[in-house]
């Protein structure tokens, strides 16, 4: 039954979670820019600026990611048994 539930979930994921197209632009700051830092504080600032830039570039996928997480959480609520023992899917890493 566990295999069947996971197989069903996999089919749903394949349908719902089609891989989105790769971004062509990740922002104006690259990791190469971070490596130009001359001090620890400058490095920290560059890393934060780079992270904000990448986060912003992926903003178009934020809602999609939320939907994927919601689907996983809903799946974890399904009762699943293996060899007559209930499997706690909240502890299963996906």
Residue 83, phi then psi, degrees to nearest 5:
55, 50
Q: How many C-alpha atoms does 85 have within 13 Å on its Cβ side? A: 3
Residue 50 domain boundaries: 2-91
How far apart CA 33 and CA 30 sit, in angstroms, is 5
Question: Does the pLDDT at position 82 exceed 50?
Answer: yes
Number of domains into which the chain is organized: 1
21/79: higher pLDDT: 21
Q: Is 90 helix (H, G, I), strand (E, B) or coil?
A: helix
pLDDT band at 94 (very low <50, low <70, confident <90, very high): very low
| Alpha carbons 27 and 49: distance in angstroms, whole number | 10
CA 30 remoteness from chain centre: 21
Question: What is this structure's pTM?
Answer: 0.55
């Amino acid at each position: 039954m566990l295999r069947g539930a996971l197989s069903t979930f996999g089919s749903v994921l394949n349908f719902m979670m089609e891989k989105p197209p790769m971004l062509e632009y990740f922002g104006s700051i690259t990791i190469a820019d971070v490596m130009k830092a001359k001090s620890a504080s400058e490095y920290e600032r560059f890393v934060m600026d780079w992270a904000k830039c990448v986060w912003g570039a992926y903003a178009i996928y934020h809602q999609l990611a939320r939907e994927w997480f919601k689907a996983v959480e809903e799946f974890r609520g399904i009762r699943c048994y293996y060899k007559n023992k209930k499997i706690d899917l909240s502890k299963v890493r996906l």
